[in-house]
Amino acid sequence: MEMIQKVFRKTRMFGELVMFSHTLFSLPFAVISMVWAAGGIPSAHVMLWSLIALVGARNGANAFNRLVDRRFDEANPRTAHRHMPRKLLREREVTLFVAVNFAIFILAAGMLNPLCLWLAPVAIVLICSYSYTKRFTWLCHLYLGFTIASAPIGAWFAVTGQFAVTPFILGTIVMLWIAGFDIIYATQDIEFDRKTGLWSVPSLFGYEDSLFIARSLHMIMVVLLLALFFIQGLGWIYLGGIGAAAVLLAIEHNIIKPSNRQRMNVASYNLNQVISMVILFCTMADFFLR
């Protein structure tokens, strides 16, 4: 019984380490991409291995980021409670977790098609390199969005094995969305980033200008979502979903308060999880009910 409890405890800690619940940021757009690519519900084989690939890549990338940033997390009062600074998870354990998840990702990519398998190592390099971008560029937020944008792009490749314009528009939407709320979240660390020499939009441009940049990125995101209305020949349900997402984004920008961690978590995480699910539900309803 004690061994089982230990396993569950470690599993929970790894889930917290990689913020598994945040899979809702990329998964809905990957599902949309797969359905559009297949012209309906993809085969069970594609759905299963695409989901495994997504989870493996995301878990590996997040754990790698925690591994690389462990010294900064220890020094930052906001992140000092995380598992690695508190020695709840050892470096060796996290390194093994990274390797296993990337191995699962490559296996899943190989089960999909040759293009996915060929691109898998490239994807690993890209998503891992994000962890170093705050050391030399304030574009790190866009790069984070760029790596997560691989979810809808990869999902399209998983179904068709071919390049197309639509998944790259979806990917750009994800990139702008993620970058926008990552900038909002980073406003909490302006002084820490400046003190330690880390690069970010808030540390370079300051609080007000950073929020303006985040709003601008989200406005472009909404414009691109509207562009897909015409490109994909979508209907009023999709349009209603985009309207609801725009309202939620406006609420997100109105409740920001860096001194209030709970508000920042709601603005940067909770609301955005709702936004992604609203877009998914309305897009799928529009596709299948028209």
Which pLDDT score, from 0 to 100, does residue 262 have? 76
Decide if pLDDT at 24 tops 80: no
- Digit-coded pLDDT (tens) for 111-161: 999 989 999 999 999 999 999 999 999 999 999 999 999 999 999 999 998
Phi-psi sector, 90: left (phi>0), alpha (psi -120 to 50), beta? beta
Which pLDDT score, from 0 to 100, does residue 204 have? 95
- Average pLDDT of every residue of the chain: 90
Decide if pLDDT at 235 tops 80: yes
* Rounded CA separation 217/207 (Å): 16
3-state class of 225 per DSSP?
Answer: helix
CA atoms within 13 A on the CB side of 174: 31
């562009």: which residue's tokens?
A: 227
Position 219, amino acid: M
How would you class 45 by CB atoms within 10 Å of its CB: exposed for 0-12, middle for 13-18, buried for 19 or more? exposed
- Digit-coded pLDDT (tens) for 62-95: 999 999 999 999 999 988 888 888 888 889 999 9
In the chain, what percentage of residues exceed pLDDT 90? 74
Sequence-distant (≥ 6) Cβ neighbours of residue 147 within 8 angstroms: 61, 126, 127, 130
- Digit-coded pLDDT (tens) for 177-227: 999 999 999 999 999 999 999 999 999 999 999 999 999 999 999 999 999
Residue 150, token pair as written in the block:
């691989």
Residue 108, token pair as written in the block:
């899943």
Which pLDDT score, from 0 to 100, does residue 227 have? 96
Closest of 127, 109, 150 to residue 18, by C-alpha: 127
Q: Kindly report the length of the chain.
A: 290
Residue 37, token pair as written in the block:
């690519």
Decide if pLDDT at 176 tops 70: yes
